[in-house]
Structures are given as structure tokens and as C-alpha cells.
Amino acid sequence: MNASAAPSRWERLGDKTLTSTRVFDVRSTRFRHPRRDTERDFIIIDSPDWVNVIALTRDQQLVLVRQFRFGTEAFSLEIPGGVIERGEDPLVAGVRELTEETGYTGQPARLLGSVHPNPALQTNRCHFVLVEDATCTHPLDWDEDEEIEVVTMPVEKVLKLAHAGGVTHALALNALLLFEPVWRGTRSPRA
């Protein structure tokens, strides 16, 4: 095969749902390579978009959650976040998730950026929202399968923890990576 040839977009031939859960669907999707005429089935996870929130209080603290995660069977230090409802704006979803998980509200809500969590397997995007002037105003409204401790920490301490491996959730690290230059005043968030 010629390594200098431009890559080709595989043609999607069809798919079938293997299983549906309340969080995502798993499907087998058949693709064909246009030049090699190779066909293969690939497993795809079809999930709604997600939102993660960097919530900054007036006294320069970040609102964090320490949450039990079933995949690692351990607590994980993260930022608040969750599933975006069908048709919901990521900014609205971010404010909603922040309030539900932590009791905090704030304004303005601005988009820091978006990523594909794992484009090899997943169809969704994760949007990162910055909410400033966050204050605790509401009772918590957790899902019945959530186990969360809400904590606040100075921004610099959180950034040091992230750089030292104290934050291991990849999407929380993505959000902090996008937030850090905004915090340092070297970049403006996307509005």
C-alpha cells in the first residue's frame, strides 16, 4: 500500500442494533473501503451528547464533585456534568447539570469548546461550559444511582492536581485544559 496516498473515507453500508440501554445503544455497522473493496463490521456506541461544567465561584474556587464511578469502582474527582437532553442547548444543559449535581447556579454560561470523547467507538460530543459567579442556591437533585460529594477548591490547586495526576477523568482534564488559558487571561472562551 502506498503510504503517501490520501486516506479514503469508508462507505457505511448499514447497521443493526445489538443492544439498547438507558445510557447508549450498541450497534454493529458494516463499512467498505472504496479502493480496497474491503468490508468489515465495527462496533459503534451511539450516545447522546454530554456536557461538563467548569463552575467558578466569586472567590475563585472551582466547584467539583467527588463521585463514585462503577467502571473503576472508585471515587473520582471531577467537574459536574451529564447527558444533554434531545434538542437541549449545551449551555442550558450545563447550567441544569450544575444545579442538579451541586446546587450551584451562576451566569454567564459560555462554551469553552467541544470534543469527541472517543471517535473510534462513539458517535457523541462532549461540550465544555464555563459558568462564572457560581453560588450555592438550590438543594441537590441527584439521580438515584449517583453518590456524590460536592467540594470547592482554589483554581490553582485544581490545576496543580490536574497536572500532577490527581484528576484522572479524561473529559474533566479536557475541560481544565481549555479553561486554564482563559483563567490565565491568554484566551477568550468561545461565545
Q: Are residues 120 and 143 in the same domain?
A: yes
Whether 5 maps to a domain, the answer reads no
Asked, for residue 73, whether it belongs to a domain, the answer is yes
**30 & 76 share domain:** no
**Which range of residues forms the domain containing residue 178?**
50-183
Q: Is 190 inside a domain boundary?
A: no
What per-residue confidence (pLDDT) applies to 147? 78
Residues 111 and 59 in one domain: yes
Distance of alpha carbon 175 from alpha carbon 113, whole angstroms: 8
Q: Are residues 23 and 107 in the same domain?
A: no
Q: Are residues 92 and 42 in the same domain?
A: no
Phi and psi torsions of 64, nearest 5°: -125, 165
Cell of 170: 479524561
Asked whether the predicted pLDDT for residue 191 surpasses 70, the reply is no
Report the percent of the chain where pLDDT is more than 70: 95
> Do 59 and 73 share a domain, yes or no?
yes
For residue range 139-155, list pLDDT tens digits in order: 877 778 777 899 999 99
Residue 182 pLDDT level (bands cut at 50, 70, 90): very high
Total domains in the fold of the chain: 2
Question: Is residue 92 located within the same domain as residue 21?
Answer: no
Which residue matches cell numbers 465495527? 42
C-alpha pair distances (Å), 62 with each of 99, 128, 151, 166: 14, 14, 8, 15
Does pTM surpass 0.85?
yes
Average pLDDT along the chain: 93
28 and 79 share one domain: no
pLDDT at 9 over 70: yes
Please say if the pLDDT value at position 16 is more than 80: yes
Measure the CA angle with vertex 49, ends 180 and 134; round to 5°: 45
- Span 38-58, pLDDT tens digits: 999 999 999 999 999 999 999
55-112 confidence digits (pLDDT tens): 999 999 999 999 999 999 999 999 999 999 999 999 999 999 999 999 999 989 999 9
Asked whether residue 144 is assigned to any structural domain, the reply reads yes
Domain-embedded: residue 93: yes
- Distance, CA of 183 to CA of 155 (rounded, Å): 8
